[in-house]
Amino acid sequence: MIEQQTPWSIRDAHDLYALDVWGDGFFSINEQGHVCVKPIEGQDITIDVNDVVAEALDSGSSLPLIIRFQDIISSRVRRLNRKFRDAITEAGYEGQYRSIFPIKVNQLQEVVVEVMETGREYDIGIECGSKAELMAALPLIGADTLLLCNGVKDHVMLTMMLNAQQLGQQVIPIIEKYSEFEQLMILAGQRDAAARLGVRVKLNTRGAGRWYESGGARSKFGLTVPELLRLVKTLEKAGQAGSLELLHFHLGSQISDIQVLRSAVKEITQIYADLVLRGVNVRFLDVGGGLGVNYGGDYDNPDSSINYGLREYANVVVYAVQEICEERGVPVPTLLSESGRALTAHHSMLVIPVLGVHRPDSPPMNDETPPDSPTLISRIETAYQEACATEVTGILLECYHDAREIREEADQLMRLGYLTLDQLAHTDSLYWSICREVLRKLSDAQLTPPPTEQLELEEQLTDLYLCDFSVFHSIIDHWAIQQVFPVMPLHRLNEKPERRAQVVDLTCDSDGKIDQYVCGHANTSWLPLHKHNHGEAYHLGIFLVGAYQEILGDAHNLLGRVDEVHVYAREDESGNFWIEETLKGLSVKEMLSQVQYFPNDLDRRMTELVRKQINAGVIKAAEGSRILNNYTRRLEESTYCTTEVVR
C-alpha cells in the first residue's frame, strides 16, 4: 500500500522555521503564507510584514530594510517587570525590583526613549559604559531615575558623575577596579562631599555560554573580595560606610544555564549579608545582564539557546535572595537587573531581497557522448544508469563512490591534456546528475541515522542564494562569534520549500555568508527555501537583530547603514500599522566621506578624466556629459544593489 503524503500546510512552515522556538509569541504565519507580527502583548492586532515592506518601498525606502516594531520593545519591558512583580508577590518579598536598560545594547535614541517611556511606571533605569553613553544618558533621566555607570572611568567621567550627584540625580558609579575608587575619593574630597558608589564583585561563579569569561575570578572587570574589604575599611575609616549603596556582578550578556545564575545570586547575597551585618547598609543588589534570548535550536547549542523562561529567571533571583537574607537575618535589598538583549532583540528585523541563485550542479547532461572519449566516460555513464535503476542504499552509495573517483580521474587527465573540454563537461554533468539522483533516493528512504554520504551530498548540492545585504554590517555576530539568527522567507509559506539553500551576501569575502540556520528544532548548515523565479521578488527576513548588531556592524566593501522604518500598531490604520519614522541609510557619498574620499574632490577628478577623453576624441561631448551625470547621480544612491532589471 502506497502511503499518502500529507499536503503542505501553514503549520508545517511554522514548525520548519521554528517560530515557536524563537518567536516568543510575536511572530506567526497567516493563511496567505505571509509572516505576521503581533507586537502588543495581550492584543490581537496583527501586522503582515509584507504590507510594511510594500508601504516602505512605496514611500521611497529601498531594500535591504530594517523594520523596527516599536511596540515589541514596550511589550518586553512590561513582561519583564510584571514577571518580577509576580515573583515578589508570590514569595512575599519585602523589597522591590527595578530593571536597568544598558544602552550599549542599542544606543539608537528612539529605542532608548521607547524603553524609558514604557518603563516609567516601573521606575526603570539606565546603564552606561563610556563617556559618550554617559553624556547621552544624563539628559534623559528624571530625578528618581537610576543611572548606573559601568566600564573604565577616567577622572573626566568620574567628575561628570559627581556633578550629576550634586544636581540631585541618582547617578551611581560602579567601581570596576580599585584605582577608580581611589580617584573617586580624591575628587569627592576636593568637594568636601561623600560620593555614592557601587562595586562590581568578581565572583567565583563563572558564566555559562559564549560569554562565560565575563564572570569568575579571571573576568576583565570587578574587585576581588580582598579588594572589596579594603574598600569598605577605607570608607569606614573616613566615616563614609553609607556611600556604598550597590553590589553588582555580571555573568555575560547571555546566560544559557539557569543554575549558573542561581549559584551567582546566592554567592553575591552572602557577600551582601556579611556587609549589612558589618554595618554597611547596601541598598541595591544588581544581578547584571544575561537574561537570555532563545535564537533557535535546542539546548544542544547552548550559545544560541537558554534552558529557562522569564518567569523562572525572576523566581530564581527573588527566591535565592530572600532565602539567604532570611537565613542571615538581614533585610532584603532592592533588586536590579541589566537586561538589554531580552528587551530589544525581538523588535528589529532585516528584510533582504534575493538577487539571484547559483546552483553548484551542472545543467542536465547532453545524451550524446563526445567523440573519442576515454573509458572513464563509459564508466560514469554506467554509474548514472545504475543509480537511476536502483533503490538499494548500498548500490546507490557505490554509484556515488564510483562517480567521485571517476571525476577525480577526469580532473587529472584534463590537467595532463588527455581530456577535451567537451569530455570534461560531459563527465561533470553526469557526476552532478548521479549526485542529485542518489541524494533524492537517500532522502526519500529517511534513513536513521543518515549515511555520511547523504550529509556530504546535502552540503554539495546546496544552492547559493545571493542576497542584497552585508553579513559584516547587519549581523556581524554571525561572522564574529557564530551567533545563530533565525532566517526565513516572508511569503510563499503556503508552498513547500524544495531547495536547499545557503544565503550569501554582496561582499567580496568568502565569510560573507550565513552558514548556520534554525531549522525545525536544530541548527543546520542549509535552509529550505522556495525556487527563485526570475523577475519575481523573493524576500527573506533575518530576525532578532535588535541587540548589538547595528552598532557593532562594520563597513566591509563600503556597504553602509541600511534604510529603516519605525512601525507602530494601530487598529484604525490600513494594515493595522503606521510608519512613524523613516530613516535613510548611508548614501555612497556619505560612505566614501567616512573613509576620506570627499565628493568635491571625486567630482573634480572625474570631470578631469572625462574632459581629457573628450579632448582626445575618444568620446563626444554629449556622451561625456551623460557619463559624468550618471556618476554624480549614483553618489547620492544607496551603497547596496538596485533591484531594477534591465530589459
* Vertex 290: Cα angle to 128 and 164 (nearest 5): 20
Determine the length of the chain. 647
- Please give the helix or strand (H or E) that residue 632 lies within, else none: helix 621-634
Strand ranges, E, within 289-359? 334-338, 348-358
Task: Write down the pLDDT at residue 372.
Answer: 78
Same domain, yes or no: 232 and 123:
yes
User: Is 508 assigned a catalytic role?
Assistant: yes
Task: Write down the pLDDT at residue 2.
Answer: 38
The reply to whether 468 falls in a domain is: no
β-bridge mates for residue 581, sequence order: 566
Last residue of a domain, one of 412, 435, 459: 459
Same domain, yes or no: 323 and 383:
no
The reply to whether 387 falls in a domain is: yes
Same domain, yes or no: 332 and 405:
no
Same domain, yes or no: 156 and 276:
yes
HEC string for 503-553: EECCCCCCCCEECCEEECCEEECCEEECCCCCCCCCEEEECCCCCCHHHHC
Pairing of the two strands 539-542 and 527-529 = unpaired
SS3 362: coil
Counting the structural domains of the chain, the total is 3
HEC string for 7-48: CCCHHHHHHHCCHHHHCCCCEEECCCCCEEECCCCCCCCCEE
What is the 8-class DSSP label of residue 587? Answer: B
User: Residue 174 CA to chain centroid, in angstroms?
Assistant: 28
Task: Write down the pLDDT at residue 1.
Answer: 32
**Cβ atoms of residues 224 and 217 within 8 Å:** yes
Rounded CA gap, 622 and 416, in Å?
53
The reply to whether 109 falls in a domain is: yes
What is the 8-class DSSP label of residue 469? Answer: S
Rounded CA gap, 455 and 461, in Å?
10
For the chain, which ranges sit under pLDDT 70?
1-5, 206-219, 297-303, 361-367, 521, 643-647
What is the 8-class DSSP label of residue 4? Answer: P
Same domain, yes or no: 409 and 295:
no
Last residue of a domain, one of 331, 346, 361: 346
Instruction: Give Cβ neighbours of residue 216 (< 8 Å, ≥ 6 apart).
Output: 202, 203, 204, 205, 206, 207
**Catalytic one of 325, 435, 508, 519:** 508
Same domain, yes or no: 233 and 115:
yes
Task: Write down the pLDDT at residue 368.
Answer: 79
- Please give the helix or strand (H or E) that residue 171 lies within, else none: strand 170-175
The reply to whether 220 falls in a domain is: yes
Q: Which three cell numbers stand for residue 571?
A: 487598529
Task: Write down the pLDDT at residue 609.
Answer: 94
The reply to whether 352 falls in a domain is: no
Same domain, yes or no: 323 and 420:
no
Last residue of a domain, one of 346, 363, 393: 346
Task: Write down the pLDDT at residue 301.
Answer: 57
Q: Which amino acid is at 507?
A: T
Same domain, yes or no: 188 and 230:
yes
Q: What is the number of other CB atoms lying within 10 angstroms of the CB of residue 596?
A: 7
The CATH number assigned to the domain holding 157 equals 3.20.20.10
Instruction: Give Cβ neighbours of residue 54 (< 8 Å, ≥ 6 apart).
Output: none
Q: Which three cell numbers stand for residue 187?
A: 575628587
Task: Write down the pLDDT at residue 253.
Answer: 87
**Cβ atoms of residues 409 and 455 within 8 Å:** no
Of 333, 342, 336, 337, the closest CA to residue 308 belongs to 342
Strand ranges, E, within 267-419? 284-286, 334-338, 348-358
Task: Write down the pLDDT at residue 82.
Answer: 98
Of 27, 8, 566, 103, the closest CA to residue 296 belongs to 27
Quote the radius of gyration of the chain (alpha carbons, Å): 30
Same domain, yes or no: 273 and 422:
no
Pairing of the two strands 65-69 and 348-358 = antiparallel
How many helices (H) and strands (E) would you count in the chain?
22, 23
The reply to whether 273 falls in a domain is: yes
The reply to whether 210 falls in a domain is: yes
Same domain, yes or no: 340 and 427:
no
The reply to whether 643 falls in a domain is: no
Rounded CA gap, 40 and 567, in Å?
12
Same domain, yes or no: 306 and 410:
no
Phi, psi of 121 (to 5 degrees): -70, -15
Rounded CA gap, 217 and 445, in Å?
52
**Cβ atoms of residues 253 and 290 within 8 Å:** yes
Rounded CA gap, 239 and 93, in Å?
31
Buried b (16+ CB within 10 A) or exposed e, 201-240: bbbebbbbbbbbebbbeebebbbeeebbeebbeebeeeeb
The CATH number assigned to the domain holding 387 equals 1.20.58
Of 224, 229, 332, 226, the closest CA to residue 275 belongs to 229
Residues 353-401: tens digit of each pLDDT:
999 999 886 566 566 788 878 899 999 999 999 999 999 999 999 999 9
Task: Write down the pLDDT at residue 220.
Answer: 74
Give helix 375-389 / helix 393-416 axis angle, nearest 10°.
160
Same domain, yes or no: 117 and 259:
yes
What is the 8-class DSSP label of residue 449? Answer: S
State which residues form the domain around 309: 95-346
* Maximum Cα interatomic distance, the chain, rounded to a whole number of Å: 100
SS3 480: helix
